Amino acid sequence: MKLFDAAERRGVVTLLPLLAVVALLVTIVEIIEKPKIITHVEPTLELRDFDPNSYEYEQLRAAGVPSAVAAGIVRWRSYGKVYRIKEDLTQVTGMTDSIYALLKPYIIIADSLKSQPYALQTTSSKKREHLPKKSFTKDEQVKTNFIPEKFLIDTASVQYLMRWGFSQKQAEVVLRYREACGGIRSKEQLRRCYVISDEMAERILPYVQFSPQDRPAHENATKGVAPTRVDINRADSAQLVAIDGIGAKSATEIIKYRELLGGYYSVEQIAELKSVTESNFEKILPKISCDSFVISKIDINFAGPKELERHPYVSAQALRRIIKQRQLKGGWSRIEEMTEQNILSEEDAKRLAPYLRFGTRTTE
């Protein structure tokens, strides 16, 4: 006796493939909807305390800081960045909320660099004696026992400026700026140094003392004092030619280059001129200075292509990148963003930084 007739067998044969297709579809849906299991997990880093203001890249990595974040911390410092609160590190390239949450307990900011209320910064030594004492290491005592006193900015050393909160690189820039200007003579001139932020200026100005303004050259001569250096940002061709080592051709080029740059921020920039030889530069250097206070700055967020193209430090390649990225992004708030986006190399950024400002559009 047959279980199925011919019609029923044909029905079963037709149904089986359909059931197989349905089963396959169900399996595919389950695979798609099933949460993916991450099989590759980056090894857990052994985190240790680290100081973002002093640790180099290798030390940061040894402390467990991810490579991209460690590079960002060091890069920001090379532009004079000082980390005053832990949250400053959230702006570093490569830092995410989850990475910051892991690193925060291990971030060490020296007391001398922490942002403090102005009243606390100027507390007298007599009042400090009544404050509770705390045990510090020898290195920490050098930083935390610092008591602000009046000082002459024209004789301050790198080490002394670091006790005020400058990084070593910032302090070195201040000394080079001071040397290039032939001395810092006013609050405005001090503020003009591009590594001195408004916050830092407000902190140190109550204690800064300035050397007397230079006397006129004829008065110095009568008193046996060496004549004042010639400011290459203000000198005309006659004043430049009067300097031993600068001829008529060099004087013309110095003035022309000054106009293209928007002013010199360092006397060393005249060495970039073909007419200034190495031997002549060494002869000229002790006789010149430059007041970078008079530099004309370019608003990188709004300057037109022609204005940017005229500047000697803006290459054709950088110009194209600036215009293209500005149209997409709408501008920048700091020069580090331009290096992070590969618009400027770090070397070009350092040269161009004194000539840039980052304006924001306002509506009335």
Dihedral pair phi/psi, residue 151, rounded to 5°:
-150, 155
| pLDDT above 70: residue 139 | no
Residues 333, 358: contact at Cβ < 8 Å?
yes
**Which strand (E) or helix (H) includes residue 256?**
helix 248-261
| pLDDT above 80: residue 223 | no
Q: What is the pLDDT of residue 31?
A: 63
Give the mean model confidence (pLDDT) for residues 125-131.
Answer: 40
How many angstroms separate the CA atoms of 159 and 168, rounded? 8
Q: What is the pLDDT of residue 33?
A: 54
Q: What is the pLDDT of residue 256?
A: 94
User: pLDDT confidence of 2, banded at 50, 70, 90?
Assistant: low
pLDDT tens digit string along 268-287? 899 899 888 888 888 898 89
Dihedral pair phi/psi, residue 209, rounded to 5°:
-115, 140
Q: What is the pLDDT of residue 148?
A: 81
Across the chain, mean pLDDT equals 78
| pLDDT above 60: residue 127 | no
| pLDDT above 80: residue 201 | yes
β pairing state of 151-152 and 356-357:
unpaired
Q: What is the pLDDT of residue 255?
A: 94
How many angstroms separate the CA atoms of 310 and 314, rounded? 8
Q: Encoding tokens for residue 326?
A: 């500005």
Q: What is the pLDDT of residue 261?
A: 93
Q: Encoding tokens for residue 72?
A: 């960002």
Please state the pTM of the whole predicted model: 0.42
β pairing state of 230-231 and 288-289:
parallel
pLDDT tens digit string along 29-76? 666 654 444 333 344 558 889 999 889 888 999 999 998 898 889 888
pLDDT tens digit string along 76-125? 887 677 888 888 888 887 888 888 888 999 999 887 777 554 333 433 33
Q: Sketch the domain layout of the chain as residue ranges.
A: 57-112, 145-213, 227-294, 298-357
**Which strand (E) or helix (H) includes residue 357?**
strand 356-357
CATH topology of domain 227-294: DNA polymerase; domain 1 (1.10.150)
Could you tell me which residues come within 8 angstroms of residue 289 by beta carbon, excluding any fewer than 6 positions away? 180, 181, 182, 229, 230, 231, 232, 267
User: pLDDT confidence of 314, banded at 50, 70, 90?
Assistant: very high
How many angstroms separate the CA atoms of 169 and 190, rounded? 17
Q: Which residue has the higher pLDDT, 306 or 214?
A: 306
Q: Which residue has the higher pLDDT, 226 or 235?
A: 235
